[in-house]
Amino acid sequence: MQQVKLGIIGGGTVGSGVYDALQRNGALVASRLGVNVVVERVAVRDLKKVRAAKIPKTLLTTDWREVVFDPQVQLVAELIGGTTIAREAILAALKLGKPVITANKALLSAHGEELFAAAKKYGTNLYYEASVAGGIPIIKALREGFVGNRINALYGIVNGTCNYILTRMKLEGADFGAVLADAQRLGYAETPPDLDIDGHDAAHKTGILASLAHGFWINPKKIHVEGIRHISALDIKFAGELGYTIKLLGTVKKLEGNCRVQVSVYPTLVPNSHVLASVNGVFNAVFVRGDVVGDSLFYGRGAGKDATASAVLSDIGDAVLDLKSGAKNRLPAFVPHECSGAVAPIEEVTSQYFVRLNVVDKPGVLARIATIFGESNIGISSVIQPEGHEGKSVPLIFMMHYATNGAAMKALAKISKLPSVKGRPVMIRVESFE
């Protein structure tokens, strides 16, 4: 049987997972592809470190160059993360004409265009299924399965840490800080957790999906990003009473009548009747609306050793078949096809809103707040002032009609300056999925 020799850069959680998966299911992969994948070399940071996978010492090196420049290595998997050494290693492999597999969403978000251009220049390819949503085959779906569709909308729960925290807050009525500490103890959240809870990890992934869906590479600086630090148990409670669940949602929507696209990550009120509201714990889901196929949902584990290894093995399969057929770039990593596309500023995007204020409970406060909303042409659909709250201030909750984000933020800036409003207003967008 024909052999393809694989070099792996990284022997951590993902690298060990890929090695283990190949040992476990290598024969199955070979029977399906007609090609035997053999691990030739593995680069690690520390030869003495105890690893989850029992990788033979004869395969190990601490120099990634010994993997990339090994003439026996035909295919390279970059699984170390980061944006410096990983970028250098991938570019070196591509320059040699060797296909590369990566799970590195941060690198693709920052340097995707450069890497794709290098793959094209040197007549090879870059595969990146594992960069978004773990074991969910969403990259392949967007590149191949939906090739005949215009993607009108895409919504993703693509960060398992945030979804775990928000799920626990909803089910237990717990505060954000307590659940975050527990998530760190259980290994679901990093220390520090900023990349996850401030929305940046989800933004990397959402930008990649938006680029594939709309045919122009999304500059990560153009993505509006908000995390979940400001979400309180009160917000979760009142959202539930209104029939919603709060999720950190990556949103990609084409705006009507032009080539501009909304690309954003922020906490969102999702109707409990929508399937995304029931995606709980560390699971991920991506909801895609195509103009031909209609609505599709992709659901599964978005991170972890085995889920990511599964996606890497999928890319290994594609790369091996391309090598076998002599078509190294049969399906290029990224094909720009919408050169006039642009990301719309968040201020111009229209949304509905959940607004929570802490106000002094006295006559005239509601009227003054409603006047400011009215002057900003923002309609109020409902107001809730829960009973039973005592103290210097009480919560006041508004559900707002559609308005631009710019108008909503200006109105709240004015409202926050009122003497009767205590603390910072909380604004969470509402998605109707219409």
CA 434 to CA 430: how far, in whole Å? 11
Is the dihedral angle over the CA atoms 314, 320, 322, 328 positive or is it negative? positive
Select which of 98, 170, 205, 254 is catalytic: 205
CA 191 to CA 427: how far, in whole Å? 27
CA-CA distances (angstroms) from residue 414 to 104, 128, 235, 361, 365? Answer: 42, 45, 22, 19, 14
What does the H/E/C string look like for the chain? CEEEEEEEECCCHHHHHHHHHHHHHHHHHHHHHCEEEEEEEEECCCCCCCCCCCCCHHHEECCCHHHHCCCCCCEEEECCCCCCHHHHHHHHHHHCCCCEEECCHHHHHHHHHHHHHHHHHCCCCEECHHHCCCCCCHHHHHHHHCCCCCEEEEEEECCHHHHHHHHHHHHHCCCHHHHHHHHHHHCCCCCCCHHHHCCHHHHHHHHHHHHHHHCCCCCHHHCEECCCCCCCHHHHHHHHHCCEEEEEEEEEEECCCCCEEEEEEEEEEEECCCHHHHCCCCEEEEEEEECCCEEEEEEEECCCHHHHHHHHHHHHHHHHHHHHHCCCCCCCCCCCCCCCCEECCHHHCEEEEEEEEEECCCCCHHHHHHHHHHHCCCCEEEEECCCCCCCCCEEEEEEEEEEEHHHHHHHHHHHHCCCCEEEEEEEEEECCCC
205 is catalytic: yes
The residues that are catalytic are 205
